[in-house]
Amino acid sequence: MTERRNLPPGVKRKTLASGAIRYEVRVDVHNPNAEGPQREQVRKRFKTKAEALEFYNGVQSERARGTFVSPSEMTVQQAVDDWLAGQRIRPKTRSAYITALRPVVDALGNKRVQAVTKADLEKVRGSLEDGTSTMGTWNAPTKLKGKPVRKKWAASNINVTLRLVTTIFKDLLDQGVLPRNVAELVKRLETEKPPIVVLTDAQTKRLLADTAEDRLGVAWRLATCGMRRGEICALRWTDVDFTAGVVRIMENRVPVSGGTHTGPPKTPTAIREMPMLPDVKAALKREKKRQAAERLRAANLYVGQGYVVCDELGRGLHPDTLTHKWADVLAELKLPHVRLHDARHGFASLAHAAGVPLADIAAWLGHKDGTFTLRTYTHSTDTGLSKTAETMGKVFGKTAAKAKVTRK
């Protein structure tokens, strides 16, 4: 009886049918996420009085600070699914988010989100570093099912995963589901941004000359004129105006889980008109003539979806196919391996070196801000360095001549 009187109101001593003694804690708490009444009771039993008092005092302390959260059965997978469902994002972005979050859901999906620790997330991070991350089936494309483990991920990709988990946990923290965001405690990996490599103007001329008659020769000309991969794949003949001499960029084609998605470009400024350069106009006319001949040969088998870059039956290409073909043609011509997107960087660098105003380069590339173009897309080139040397040579020559005259 004395012990019962010494216990706080929320702790009761219970004798079970077996004769064992247990200590039950009952605390009324406020749950803002409850579907019904927001006031509910937390009930938990302990073997010892010390454990019960520690839990009771902890709950009371957290209630006083306003940091107590009611127990929740929400799992990591449910939390991720709910967060994704609430995002108003493009299909390509959603696909990228799912890819980044898949290792976390595969490893911790069935675990209560409130039970996730810093160590759990560090283990996921380590498995991605080591190439030991077990593959699951959450939102997995058919081609990935059956693979036991993932390959090693780059540090930059792992950091994207950690950033998304931190965002999801912060959302749960704001909702009152989590008392703290343990994802913030997980250290990000150090990354080194690889240098952008672009083809020289001589290498670009050789590439275009040697592929002029190839099926994808027109794609390489458009790429080296600053068009994005998705813009090239989405370009239709209705967007090519030979009379006005412009190519209208109206759509973007991106890879998504299970195929592709064609829709508006990612920013309004990406919708633009590009004047046709003479060699681009010639390449487009050659391709149009080629497709007309292929339509006659294929007869009823010809699909003809209206794309400028397509296969023998007129079907549009997957953006990844264009990337692979680009790598193949560079290897065949023994040219340096650069990304297809780096052809866009090369165009910006050459235009900048030639003295084209930055605002015009940004508009051509579909950028809103010229400073972004300067910071991200312009790089030194052999031509630019040669012009710099020539210009500065003249400057220093004039300076030396002036100094010589002054001494007299």
Q: What does the pLDDT look like over 41-94, one tens digit per residue?
A: 778 889 999 998 888 887 777 666 666 667 788 999 999 999 999 999 888 889
Do 243 and 119 fall within a single domain? no
Do 206 and 237 fall within a single domain? yes
Dist CA 198 CA 266 (whole Å): 24
For residue range 17-42, what is the model confidence (pLDDT) as tens digits?
Answer: 898 999 998 877 655 555 555 566 77
In a domain, 337, yes or no: yes
Do 125 and 214 fall within a single domain? no
Do 129 and 54 fall within a single domain? no
Dist CA 125 CA 111 (whole Å): 17
* pTM beyond cutoff 0.75: no
What's 369's domain CATH number? Answer: 1.10.443.10
For residue range 153-210, what is the model confidence (pLDDT) as tens digits?
Answer: 999 999 999 999 999 999 998 888 888 899 999 999 998 877 778 888 899 999 999 9
Residue 11: its H or E element: strand 11-15
Domain count, the chain: 3
Do 172 and 94 fall within a single domain? yes
In a domain, 389, yes or no: no
- List helix spans (H) across 30-136: 49-65, 76-85, 91-108, 118-130
Do 137 and 32 fall within a single domain? no
Q: Which domain holds residue 92?
A: 76-185
Dist CA 353 CA 381 (whole Å): 8
